Each structure stands twice: as C-alpha cells, then as structure tokens.
Amino acid sequence: MKKLFYSVCLVFVLCSSCVSFPQGKDDTGLLVIKKDSEYKSLNSYYAYYKLYYSEKEHIKIFPNGNIQFVNNLKPGEYTCFRLESIYPNSGKRANIHTTYCRFEIKEGKYTVFPYVFKTYLKKNSEGVKLQYFELVGMSEDMLADIRTELADIPKYSEWEEK
C-alpha cells in the first residue's frame, strides 16, 4: 500500500511538471488565461466556470493551476458576456454572473487574456466554505511576469504573441 502511494505521488509530480504549450492548428489561435488560485489542487474547489462568448459557445475555466491554455479558437474578436459556475459532479449551474471582457485571437498566435482569473475559498458565518472568483484587470507589470513565466514552458518558441 505504501509503495502504491509513493508511485502515485511520483506520477503526480512528474505530470504536474509536464505542462507545455499545446500543438495548434494553422488556422486557429491560442488563448492563455493567467490564474491566481488559493489552492493548486482541483479537489479543493467544488465548481468550475464557463465563460460565454456566444449563446452556445464558451470557454471552460478550471480554478486550479497558474495558467490555462485554450487552443483551437478561430481568429476574430471575442466579447464575453456571461460567466457561469458549474458543479462538476452534476453539471448543474451554481451561479450566473454578468461580465464583459474582450480579446482577439489571431491565426497561429497566442493571446494573453486581459484579466487574471482569481479563485478563492472563504468560510461564511456558519463555517461553510464558499467558492468565489474575480476577474482582475491585468497591469503591464503582470503581463511582463506572465511573459516570463510562459517563456519557461516547453514549446513556447513554437508560438508568437498576438
């Protein structure tokens, strides 16, 4: 049993360091979402998010990790207007939030999402943990930090920033 536990831990450590830029298609682009999560484990959170840019099309945002890649987006202007919190076990909506954010995707290039997606847990007056999020506008300093972080990720040189 102990051996199995250590094997699982080793696989987790190896896989967590295997983040790399995804392989893209020639006619699509890549969105890079910077995340600021209180906890890095997905098990710490009870909802993920859908950011809608049309009535039927959305981007899934998971609260864990530092960076999320959304690949194979068609080139063009995107205007996001709704963010939904979703319970992963049931697929049911927890909350709907009105939002407004824009970004542009260019063919064969990556775009840094102009907001940091911040997620945190907070206990209410009854001691129940509640999950919150914020879209924090990105400063030039934050953008420079993200570019530095991205440069250390494998396959970075295969992509060019919009």
Whole-number Å distance between alpha carbons of 120 and 115:
16
In the chain, % of residues over pLDDT 90: 52
Whole-number Å distance between alpha carbons of 31 and 110:
6
Mean pLDDT to the nearest integer, 86-103: 91
Where are the chain's structural domains?
Answer: 21-161
Between 158 and 103, residue with greater pLDDT: 103
pLDDT in tens, 23-79: 766 789 999 999 998 766 556 778 899 999 999 999 999 988 889 999 989 999 999
Which of 159, 160, 94 is closest to 133 using CA atoms? 94
- Model confidence at 16: pLDDT above 60: no
Mean pLDDT to the nearest integer, 126-145: 90
| CB proximity list for 60: less than 8 A, separation 6 or greater | 48, 49, 50
Q: Which pLDDT band, with edges at 50, 70 and 90, does 4 fall under?
A: very low
> Are residues 42 and 64 in contact, defined by beta-carbon separation less than 8 angstroms?
yes
| CB proximity list for 127: less than 8 A, separation 6 or greater | none
Find where tokens 């963010």 sit.
Answer: 83
